Amino acid sequence: MKMMKLKPRYFDMSPELIRSVKSGQELLKQPGEICAQELSRFDSVIELQGGKVSRVYKGFLNGEARIIKFSFGSYRAVELRREAEALLEIDNHGGADLVPTMLDFQQKGHYTCLTMSYIKGETARMRLASCTDVEKRAWIWHSIGASLARIHRMFLIEDAQSGWLEKQQEIAELNKEQGLIDPDEFTHETADDLLVWLKNHMPKERAITVIHGDFRTKNLILTEAGCSIIDWSFVDIGSPYYDLAVVDYYFANEEDRKNFYLGYDLFEYNTALIDYYDKLSKFINV
């Protein structure tokens, strides 16, 4: 097993940082001078779709494309720093083809900038939306599963006593208290009831590894060689079933799931664990 320098997310995400999220959303309205300064060195720049508190650009320099990502506010600054650290770690442990190459990282006050290589390809979300060919669709899901397995195998501890899941419970409660969760996620039961359920049904399975934390098809780039993974802002050291629960939503049928797990070939599909971490993610991915 390889050792990873990146710490679990809860080491960096203090209650004070979580409470600062909304201030970062306000800062997004005034990106500041760092954006203009960093982007001025490119020959041309295209703004891509970013998140609530980030801006993402594709810049061209001497004909070569780069991705430039800005985050705003203390909380998102920590996320972007962790993303940069994760890219370096995965690259250094044989996963250079799985993630963008981290080229530069800057932090100036509440504004943070990460420059990465551009991965040429198409998102799995777009490819799957138009793919009806059975064999091509099988290749897509097999490739996605194989890439995730390589990530999970890098730093896997089979029986860890890390306290990670207990810390997720604390973060979940704090995110709810701060009004950071999406009310639309709780149509069948209240957030309070679901938090109680999560505490009463904590799984005994304790395998941990590096996890992406937001393993959705929009963050998966299909290339000629396979599948690369972008947007590591939710990276953590936790249960691999967290990633498996997130991606499970995107299987259109059992054939998709079967082909994914044929490629993944690390942990078996487990309905109870998938259900548990799917519920937990409603409080964590905010």
Instruction: Spell out the per-residue pLDDT of the chain, length 286, in tens.
Output: 566 788 999 999 888 888 777 665 555 555 556 678 889 999 999 999 766 668 899 999 999 999 999 988 888 889 999 999 999 999 999 999 999 999 999 988 778 899 999 999 999 999 999 999 999 999 999 999 999 999 999 999 887 777 899 999 999 999 999 898 999 999 889 999 999 999 999 998 889 999 999 999 999 999 999 999 999 999 999 999 999 999 999 999 999 999 999 999 999 999 999 999 999 999 998 7
Containing domain of residue 266, as a range? 122-284
CATH number of the domain enclosing 97: 3.30.200.20
Kindly state whether residues 16 and 93 are assigned to the same domain. yes
Would you say residue 2 lies in a domain? Answer: no
The answer to whether the CB of 180 falls within 8 A of the CB of 18 is yes
Would you say residue 188 lies in a domain? Answer: yes
Give the number of domains in the chain. Answer: 2
C-alpha to C-alpha distance for 65 and 58, rounded to whole angstroms:
7
Single out the residue in 117, 144, 159 at which a domain terminates. Answer: 117
CATH number of the domain enclosing 168: 3.90.1200.10
Kindly state whether residues 100 and 240 are assigned to the same domain. no
C-alpha to C-alpha distance for 151 and 95, rounded to whole angstroms:
8
pTM > 0.85: yes
Kindly state whether residues 64 and 161 are assigned to the same domain. no
Degrees to nearest 5, angle at CA 3 with 278 and 227: 50
The answer to whether the CB of 236 falls within 8 A of the CB of 6 is no
For 210, the 3-state DSSP assignment is strand
